[in-house]
Chains A and B, each alone.
Chain A
Amino acid sequence: MKALSLLAACLALQGCASVGVEPWQRDVLARPEMSLDANPIDAAIDDHIYFSKEASSGGRGFGGGGCGCN
């Protein structure tokens, strides 16, 4: 099972090698709003609100701060 997962990971990584861009084609990706962490404060606020009101949390990253609200 472990070997199978490792093989799958390697194949996925191999597949990834054929997609992507050259370093000089990163003009759009370099725009601040294209960063996946462009709004960390918004994300933290959302995570905190939904963590206190719903039974799910996390996914995007590690939750910060903890809370007695759930």
Chain B
Amino acid sequence: MNDDNNLSATLAAATCALLGASAAGPVMAGETDRWSFDTALLYYAESDDRVQDVSATIGAQRAFEDDRLLNLTLTADTLTGASASGAIASDLPQTFTSPSGRAVYSTPAGETPLDDTFLDTRFALNASWTQPLARLYTVSAGLGFSTEYDYTHLGANVSLARDFNKRNTTVSAGLAYSQDDIDPVGGAPVPLSQMLDVGDGSNKLSSDSKDVLDVLLGLTQVLSRNTVLRVNYSYSQSSGYLNDPYKILSVVDGTTGDTILRTPAPGVAGPTGIYLYESRPDSRAKHSLYAEVKHAFGAPVLYGSYRFMTDDWGIDSHTGEVRLRWPVGDASYVEPQLRYYMQSQADFYHPSLVQGAALPAYASADFRLGEFDAVTVGLKFGHRTSGGNEWNARLEYYQQNGSISRDQLIGNQFAREQYPDLKAVIAQFGYRFGL
């Protein structure tokens, strides 16, 4: 009971500090029986009134005797804005039935259709416990839970690490399992079924689920007095419902590439074109190889990482990231950050489907399964206060540039912008303190 009160008081203090209401005591790194907090407020905004996200995260860590450590992370997200539906632009205005099946939304001629009914609030809680198991072994176990309007996630993970070579080498192995329930607004559409008029839910099923198994093998190696390297191999197996229930594909004429028009039933609102709900395979296996290195050049620290990912959906991706933490004076630092990402398209990525042609088993026009590259440039600034706490601010710009191979475009589609670039600004403010 007393502990609960302490926890409540601590969380309340964390909330106040996050809002800038009070300054707490100094961080005592490594000191036992103390809480330390790492908090962040995030604002993410895409151009053209697309997705906006405001989120708050509180990470709390408590060190106990004998190197035992408790970690708690609580996140609240609020998402608003519009998201690309997967339908292609048209020379005519287009009308779509909203995911709920109870209303319609329209897209002006020449514009990429965006579903502006997107609105969600998400809460996530993660807890983990780490402790030595024997002189050279460390075990860690965690639980994760998150909930949003149409989605619930429950996960557990465990990992074991062993040190070798005067603790210069650490080998680790971990396992994670999660079970996610998806309960889409208006029901989960039957894959490749046609978008219907308002009020007709005959192609919508109830909720669905997926489970994900992750295996992670890691090696951390001290290379020199000022260089450390980490290499991870991970395998991830997802099975179950892997569709995005809100994504559709336009059905087009095989010569002109224009969307096939349809007329809603008399007296009812509904789609003005033929659109099919996407269909993805019900399993996905991913392999990733990740390497990161940190090197101190005197006071400045350089971080570099690279990840290669390949999966059985035909997607390969490469991600590279570089950051340089540069001290300014005794108490501050600036950190320029650069990230580059590129991916190939999924085998079943189709910008549109041709009327009359045999339907493929799997098809998606989700831009995230297409071919694109992305760049993030950013700058972080941090300052340590006289009390030993740290505040920091990060500003980043993210841009995706997509491309659709010419053999996937038809007729008039060449003249239209089919893959609008995504641009986003990410602003983050953080505060670290101890109690």
Q: A-side interface residues toward B, CB under 8 Å? A: 12-13, 16-17, 19-23, 25-29, 31-34, 36, 40-42, 44-45, 49-50, 53-56, 58-70
Contacts and interface: CB of A to CB of B under 8 A. Distances in A.
A41 B42 CA distance: 11
Contacts of B311: 55
B221 A50 contact: no
A54 B308 CA distance: 14
Given A53-B422, A58-B214, A65-B126, A21 B165 contact: no
Contacts, number: 173
Given A20-B166, A60-B290, A66-B178, A13 B225 contact: no
B89 interface: no
B307 A59 contact: yes
B282 to A, nearest CB: 16
Contact of A68 (B164, B182, B226): B182
B317 A55 contact: yes
Contact of A55 (B126, B164, B216, B369): B369
A22 B167 CA distance: 9
Contact of A56 (B44, B216, B228, B343): B343
B341 interface: yes
A56 B380 CA distance: 24
Contacts of B226: 28-29, 34
B232 A16 contact: no
B115 interface: no
Interface string B253-280: 0000000000000000000000000000
B244 A70 contact: yes
12 contacts: A16-B164, A21-B222, A41-B40, A41-B59, A54-B374, A59-B319, A62-B174, A66-B153, A67-B148, A67-B153, A68-B150, A68-B151
Given A20-B223, A66-B155, 16 more contacts: A19-B224, A33-B301, A36-B228, A41-B430, A42-B430, A45-B428, A53-B398, A54-B317, A55-B311, A58-B234, A60-B305, A62-B155, A67-B122, A68-B150, A68-B180, A69-B79
Nearest to A45: B42
Interface of B: 29, 38-40, 42, 44, 55, 57, 59, 73, 75, 79, 120, 122, 124, 126, 142, 144, 146, 148, 150-151, 153, 155, 157, 164-169, 171, 174, 176, 178, 180, 182, 214, 216, 219-226, 228, 230, 232, 234, 236, 244, 286, 288-290, 292, 294, 296, 301, 305, 307, 309, 311, 313, 315, 317, 319, 325, 341, 343, 346, 368-369, 374, 380, 394, 398, 400, 422, 426, 428, 430
Contact of B317 (A36, A56, A69): A56
Contact of B228 (A32, A34, A40, A54): A34
Contacts of B288: 56, 58-59
Nearest to B156: A62
B178 A41 contact: no
Contacts of B325: 33
Contact of B309 (A31, A59, A66): A59
B73 A20 contact: no
B39 A41 contact: yes
Contact of B57 (A26, A41, A58): A41
B275 to A, nearest CB: 21
A34 B296 contact: yes
Contacts of B244: 70
A54 B368 contact: yes
B398 to A, nearest CB: 8
A61 to B, nearest CB: 7
Contacts of B313: 55
B302 to A, nearest CB: 11
Contact of B169 (A13, A44, A56, A69): A13
A21 B79 CA distance: 47
A56 B306 CA distance: 13
A68 B29 contact: no
Contacts of B225: 21, 25-29
Most buried by B among A21, A26, A58, A59: A59
Contacts of A63: 214
A56 B165 contact: no
Nearest to B306: A59
Contacts of A33: 301, 325
A69 B180 CA distance: 12
A55 to B, nearest CB: 5
Given A34-B228, A58-B288, A66 B75 contact: no
